[in-house]
Amino acid sequence: MEKIKDTTFEMDKEELLMLRLLSQALNIEQDTSEVLDQEKKKLNDLRLEKQNAEIFSQIDWEHFYQIAQGHRVLSFLYDELAEAREVPETMQKRVAAASRKAVLQSYRLLFLCKDLCSRLEQAGIAVALLKGVGTASYYPVPELRKSGDVDLLLLDVEKQKEACEVLKQAGCTLREEQPSLHHVVFENSDGIEIELHTMLAEPFDNEKINGYLEGQMNNCAHEVVKKEVMGVTLPILNTAYHAYELLLHMLQHFLRAGFGLKLLCDWVVFWNTPSSQEEKEKYIKLVRESGVKGFSDMITQVCVKYLGLELKNVQWMDFDQVYPTEDFMEEIFEAEEFGNHSAARMVGLRNNNLWGYVVEFHHQMHLNFPKAGKVFLFWPVLWVITLVRFLYNNRKIRKVSAREVFKSAGKRSRLIGRLNLWKNP
């Protein structure tokens, strides 16, 4: 494997503690009946408690709280912080409050998913849950994984109109603005978003990968399993396609404004769960054929190094090279959830040159004007409108200069350039 040297990146003590606690929270060992194993576990717990106690005394807890909130992982830390003597009472109350809120929201979404999936199934419309509740089932305590919406993958795109009618009959309202090409957004009476997807991901700026994803929709219909999630049986994608969708979701956000620790936590618990050889081979086939093996390897290596993903559980991925995990972790901490930390974070470019900006700008034009963008003669007008909108939004809404946006995009593009995206081996 080719090795790429990490650049200098020093995490502060609050960030280091965050990674340590998340690693502990995501990797709860299963209890065994052997006394020796039980005693080893007790000793290990005491060792971790002592280590944490030494670190806790040096922590700026307000800063720690802001990091956890920004990455939407506070609820994961309940068992690690809620009863620790060295943690301030105000922090413990915040953790407890976030955990209660996450649990309540989890059950609201769980039964909403059950209701919608049942209605669609009764109407003869097959769907699978994406991310959210389905991914939560891999966590030691599923209720603590914070989610905000429901994502449904429609397995027969010809039935989109019928599916929309079913959702309307269930009390869901179609959003006036529909910002995406391959999913329709609804909202129920409680303000929860329901997204009806017709593809595994929104279009990338590469026709080859878009065509590949379109072709995979036929396979998805045969990759659905029924899984019990918090006592409710729901349809989710099987291991290989579930992982592939999680990866595409991360890549989509990475190429836009970035994403935070929560999605990495999903990756850790997912691959620390045993899977069959058949599913592993199927996953590798998917990422190699679609040219995202480099991104998969980098994400996995970061999770092994920082968040407790067991190397023995992912060695079968046969990493092509060692990726700059420190660079990527710096990017993760800067991004927070979905790039919300900085207004200057807009896109990451695959080529850090003038042509890279032109390609991305043209791609944004197509995303903003999916119908008109199909007409070649309209392109000059649509380019002007896209540029004016870009400059206006930066100045009036995000209050950041175009120069700052381009600087941020250029920095992230250097990391993206190492991934060999869309290139088959």
**CATH number, domain containing residue 267:** 3.30.460.40
Q: Find out whether 421 and 295 touch, Cβ atoms under 8 Å.
A: yes
Count the residues in the chain.
425
* 210 belongs to a structural domain: yes
CA distance linking residue 130 with residue 247, whole number of Å: 12
5 falls within a domain = no
Angle between helices 293-306 and 261-271 (to 10 degrees): 90
Mean pLDDT of 198-207: 87
Final residue in a domain of this structure, among 307, 341, 375: 341
Task: Tell me, yes or no, whether 143 and 216 share the same domain.
Answer: yes
Question: Residue 308: which of 76, 11, 21, 91 has the closest Cα?
Answer: 21
pLDDT at 56: 77
What would you report as the CA-atom Rg of the chain, rounded to the nearest whole angstrom? 22
Report yes or no on 37 lying in a domain.
no
pLDDT score, position 387 = 67
- In the predicted structure, residue 271 carries a pLDDT above the cut 50: yes
Which of 300, 320, 341 terminates a domain? The answer is 341
| 220-259 pLDDT, tens digit each | 999 999 999 889 999 999 999 999 999 999 998 888 778 8
Among 34-38, 85-89, 363-367, 395-399, name the most confident range.
85-89
At residue 40, the pLDDT reads 44
d(C-alpha 421, C-alpha 248), whole Å = 12
In a domain, 330, yes or no: yes
The verdict on residue 207 lying in a domain is yes
In this structure, of 168-182, 302-316, 394-408, the range with the lowest mean pLDDT score is 394-408
Tens of pLDDT, residue by residue over 16-28, are: 889 989 998 998 6
Same structural domain for residues 334 and 349? Answer: no
Residue percentage of the chain with pLDDT more than 90: 51
- Considering the chain, what is the average pLDDT of its residues? 81
Q: How confident is the model at residue 384, as a pLDDT?
A: 73
Are residues 356 and 248 located together in one domain of the fold?
no
- Would you say the C-alpha torsion 138, 141, 145, 149 has a positive or negative sign? positive
* Domain membership flag for residue 407: yes
Higher pLDDT, 54 or 266: 266
Domain housing 390: 342-425
Question: Which of the four pLDDT bands, split at 50, 70 and 90, describes residue 31?
Answer: very low
Instruction: Work out the pLDDT band at 3, boundaries 50, 70, 90.
Output: very low
Same-domain status, 323 and 352? no
Contacts 24+ apart (CB under 8 A), 82-91: 84/49, 84/52, 84/53, 84/56, 85/53, 86/52, 86/53, 86/56, 86/57, 87/56, 87/61, 88/61, 90/61, 91/61, 91/64, 91/65
In a domain, 310, yes or no: yes
Same domain, 348 and 360: yes
In this structure, the answer to whether residues 177 and 273 fall within a common structural domain is: yes
202 and 258 co-located in one domain: yes
In the chain, what is the greatest distance between 2 CA atoms, to the nearest angstrom?
Answer: 75
User: 7: left (phi > 0), else alpha (psi -120 to 50), else beta?
Assistant: beta
Number of domains, the chain: 2
**Confidence band of 417 (pLDDT split at 50, 70, 90):** confident
pLDDT for 398 equals 45
Q: Please indicate, yes or no, whether residues 300 and 230 belong to a single structural domain of this protein.
A: yes
Do 152 and 223 lie in one domain? The reply is yes
Q: 313 and 187, same structural domain?
A: yes
Asked whether residue 392 is assigned to any structural domain, the reply reads yes
CA distances from 210 to 171, 215, 235, 258 (A): 33, 9, 25, 20
Residues 228 and 367 in one domain: no
| Domain endpoint, select from 341, 367, 393 | 341
**Residues 201-211, mean pLDDT to the nearest whole number:** 87
Identify the band that residue 336 occupies on the pLDDT scale cut at 50, 70 and 90. Answer: confident
* Lowest-pLDDT choice from 8-22, 185-199, 348-362: 348-362
* 228 and 320 together in one domain: yes
